Amino acid sequence: MSNLIKLFISFFKIGAFSFGGGYAMLPLMKETVIDHHSWLTNSEFIDILAISEMTPGPIAINMATFLGYRVGGFIGSALATLAVVLPSFIVMSLIFHFVNKFKDSPYSDYFFRGIRPIVLGLIASAAVSVAMDAYVDIQSVIISIVLFYFITFKNLKAIPAIILAGLVGILVY
């Protein structure tokens, strides 16, 4: 099977089985691109994650686009991006079609209440997985804790936080 077909199938599965958005996709994406296909190393995955977070657009799409380009050039980039968004497009089209029919059903509410905890679990799993590879020394732990404090409790916005982390990285390392 060619790499382009593997790429499309892999990112279609990631898009289809990851509820909760980009961060919830990270554990499945990491398993697929690192453990199963060896398209990236752990370190490269963390770097792509950081770049995908800084660039405009959803993180999963940015990662699919970058990795697709790495595996299959422009065509690989287009295929991976299409594959990761296609399941959501199909589901949203079906939901739109049936929304009026089931909008008052308690079962749809029960279904989504059941999914919420797994979304939180997937995001937490991704955070732990990324942290294990990102914390290379005590300085990286301190930078992370300080920025977490400022973002969470002092309302530091994402762009200044990224710039500050980069400047601190230049000074510390």
State the DSSP code for 31.
I
Query: d(Cα 143, Cα 90) in Å, to the nearest integer?
Result: 41
Q: What is the pLDDT, as a whole number, of residue 19?
A: 65
Domain shared by 127 and 149, yes or no: no
Confidence (pLDDT) at 11? 93
Q: Kindly report, residue by residue over 62-78, the tens digit of the pLDDT.
A: 989 999 999 899 999 99
pLDDT the model gives residue 6: 94
29 and 79 together in one domain: yes
- Region of 38 (left: φ > 0; alpha: ψ -120 to 50; beta: rest) is left
Instruction: Based on the fold, state whether residues 87 and 157 are members of the same structural domain.
Output: no
Q: Is the dihedral of CA 57, 5, 92, 23 positive or negative?
A: negative
90 and 140, same domain (yes or no): no
Judge if 9 and 45 occupy the same domain: yes
* CA 167 and chain centroid, separation: 25
Global model pTM greater than 0.75: no
Comparing C-alpha atoms, which of 126, 134, 12 is closest to residue 68? 12
What pLDDT, on a 0 to 100 scale, did the predictor assign at position 21? 67
The size of the chain, in residues, is: 173
Q: Tell me, yes or no, whether 85 and 7 share the same domain.
A: yes
11 and 92 share one domain: yes
Same domain, 125 and 139: no
Q: Which structure tokens are listed for 95?
A: 């939901």
One domain, residues 153 and 99: no
Number of structural domains found in the chain = 2
Q: What is the CA radius of gyration of the chain?
A: 18
Whether 78 and 57 share a structural domain = yes
Residues 170 and 88 in one domain: no
In order along its 173 residues, the chain shows pLDDT tens digits of: 688 999 999 999 998 887 666 677 888 888 999 999 999 998 888 888 888 888 888 888 898 999 999 989 999 999 999 999 999 889 888 877 776 677 778 887 788 788 888 888 878 887 887 788 778 889 988 999 999 999 999 999 988 998 898 899 899 88
In this structure, are 130 and 144 located in the same domain?
no
Q: Which domain holds residue 171?
A: 135-173
